[in-house]
Amino acid sequence: MLATAFRVPEDSQIRDPKPRGVAAPKAPARAVPAPSATGIGVTIRDLRKDFDGHTVIEGLDLHIPAGQFVAVVGRSGCGKSTLLRLILGLEQPSAGRIALEAQGPRTPPKRIMFQEPRLLPWARVVDNVAVGLGEVGRKTERRAKAQAALAEVGLSEKSGNWPATLSGGQRQRVALARALVSRPGLLALDEPLGALDALTRIDMQAMIERIWRAQGFTAILVTHDVAEAVAMADRILVVEAGRIALDVAVDVPRPRRRGDADLAALEGRILDHLLSERAPA
């Protein structure tokens, strides 16, 4: 197993300018699944993050096994995205250690999918997906991999289209294909479905889960939607005032059905906790 500790240099494909707030955890609520052969495990020890002299994370410990699907929820401004950014290396910790643990001889890439698709309007769909490969390999090879990624998200027939001709849901599927084309070991999902209509969102949730199960990468989803979190994740971290207030296992077999009593009970428990919090000033 290869472990990489950092203050890391980051993937050239990951870009997001907006800094935010924080997070801190507890031990997992149950036995974790066997490590994935392709996923990246994450171990955080005694992490601290300061912004402008203000400590937003302090003494944070967390372990995410390779291949696990984790959802991070909390009120707006609570700092859930800062935890994601630190894991990706978009922010550097003020103190502590973050280690990425790969099962093979090399650490696969990390990728992120944002709420906005961020497609290049002057490039056709297949070339937007190929951007996820950088300059690795010949152009024909990159295009072939991009076509395969588009097939995984059901958009093979749109490969020659311009982004402006696509619906909002189709553009997000292109963004998903771009994130997956390099076969990442860790996929970060920063509220990627928040702008979609309800039915498209449900379809995208099912697609992401299907591809995650097929490829075995580690998934970390930041979302405001508790129903989405319990439908998709193995484990839910509830962030409150820069710390992880709850670490909850989702012990509901897949495939999951909306309206399932166990999912509803878990969603109610998490919502009760969130609603009992005092809103941030």
The correct CATH number of 2-10+18-109+185-276 out of 2.60.40.10, 3.40.50.300, 3.30.565.10, 1.10.10.10 is 3.40.50.300
pLDDT tens, position by position, 79-114:
788 889 999 999 999 999 999 988 776 778 999 999
Q: Which residue is it, tokens 């599927």?
A: 173
Average pLDDT, the chain: 84
pLDDT value, residue 203: 94
* Angular region, 259: left φ>0, alpha ψ -120 to 50, beta rest: left
In this prediction, residue 137 has a pLDDT band, given cuts at 50, 70 and 90, of: confident
Rounded Cα gap, residues 172 and 119, in angstroms: 9
pLDDT value, residue 183: 93
Other CB atoms within 10 A of residue 104 CB: 11
- Which residue type occupies 264? A
Segment 192-217 shows an average pLDDT of: 93
In this prediction, residue 178 has a pLDDT band, given cuts at 50, 70 and 90, of: very high
- Going by the DSSP 8-state scheme, the letter that residue 225 receives in this structure is -
Confidence (pTM): 0.84
- Going by the DSSP 8-state scheme, the letter that residue 152 receives in this structure is H
Residue 70 near residue 220, CB atoms below 8 Å: yes
* Residue 28, C-beta contacts closer than 8 angstroms, at least 6 positions apart: 63, 235, 247, 249
Whose CA is closest to 55, among 87, 84, 23?
Answer: 23
pLDDT tens, position by position, 47-78:
888 888 887 888 788 899 999 999 999 888 77
| Segments making up each domain of the chain, as ranges | 2-10+18-109+185-276, 120-182
